[in-house]
Amino acid sequence: MYAREVDDREFTFGVSGKLIRNVLVMYDRQTESYWSQLLGEAVAGEMQGAKLEYLPSWHTTWGKWKEMHQATLALKKGFSGGYDPYSSYYQSSSAGVIGETFSDERLATKEFVIGVELEDEARAYPFRVLNNEPVVNDTLSGKDILIVFDSQTATGVAFDRQLGEQTLTFVLKGEDPLTLSDLETGSRWDGLAGVATAGSLTGQRLDRIKSTAVFWFGWKDFHAQSGVYGLDLG
C-alpha cells in the first residue's frame, strides 16, 4: 500500500495490463508513467525514478482484520462467494505468466515468503520457517528488525527493534502466539500491532518496516542477491 501524493502532487492509478518480471505494472492517469507495484517506483515515463511513500498494511484474513478493527468498512466490488478463479494458478508450479528471470532453487518456485529490503540488502523469510519460528530478531543492512508471523492467518509484519536509544529483543509470551515480551524491560506487546500493552513501555509503538508477502519466484527475480532466513542465514 502506498500514498498517492508525490512532491505535493496527487496521482490516481490504474492497471496497465503490463508485467515486469511477473509483477503488476500500474500507470498514473496524470502523466501515464508506468509504476512497479512491488518497488513502488516509476520505471518509465515522465515520473521515472519517483517513489511512492510506503503505508503500513497487512495481508491477512477478513476475520483477523475484523478482530483487530471492529469498525472497519469493506469495499465490495460486485462479487461474493468462495470461488477463486486463480486456484489452478496457485496449485501449478509455473513461474508466473512469463516465466522466471533468474533461476534459484533454494526455495520452491511458489513458496511464500515475507520479503524485506533495506538500503541495498534484501532477505526472504519463508512461511515454512516462520511457522516454526514466528518471532525473529534479525539485523538487515545494519538495522535491527523484528519479524512476527501468525501461522493461523499467514499474516507477517516487520518492525524496527530500535525504540529511542534502546534496541529491544523479543520472545513469545505465554500461549498466545501473537503476544510478545521484550527481554530488556519485560513489557508485553501485541505482536501484529507492534504496541506495548503492559509494563514500563505501555503505549509505545514500534515503527513498521516495508515488507511484502510474495511468491519466491517473484521476490528473487527483483532481488537476485536476496538472502533466505533459515536456509543460508539465521
124-137: pLDDT as tens digits = 999 999 999 999 99
- Three cell numbers at 213? 508477502
Sorted by where each starts, the structural domains of the chain and their CATH numbers stand as 5-44 (no CATH), 112-228 (2.102.10)
pTM for the structure as a whole: 0.84
User: Residue 94: its pLDDT value, please?
Assistant: 67
54-78: pLDDT as tens digits = 888 878 888 888 888 888 888 877 6
The model's confidence at residue 99, banded by pLDDT at 50, 70 and 90, is: low
**Which helix (H) or strand (E) element contains residue 232?**
none
49, 7 in Cβ contact below 8 A? no
32-46: pLDDT as tens digits = 999 998 889 999 999
SS3 115: strand
Residue written as grid cell 501524493: 5
Q: Using CA of residue 178, residue 57, residue 22, residue 86, what is the dihedral sign?
A: positive
Please name the residues in contact with 162: beta carbons below 8 A apart, sequence gap of 6 or more: 143, 144, 168
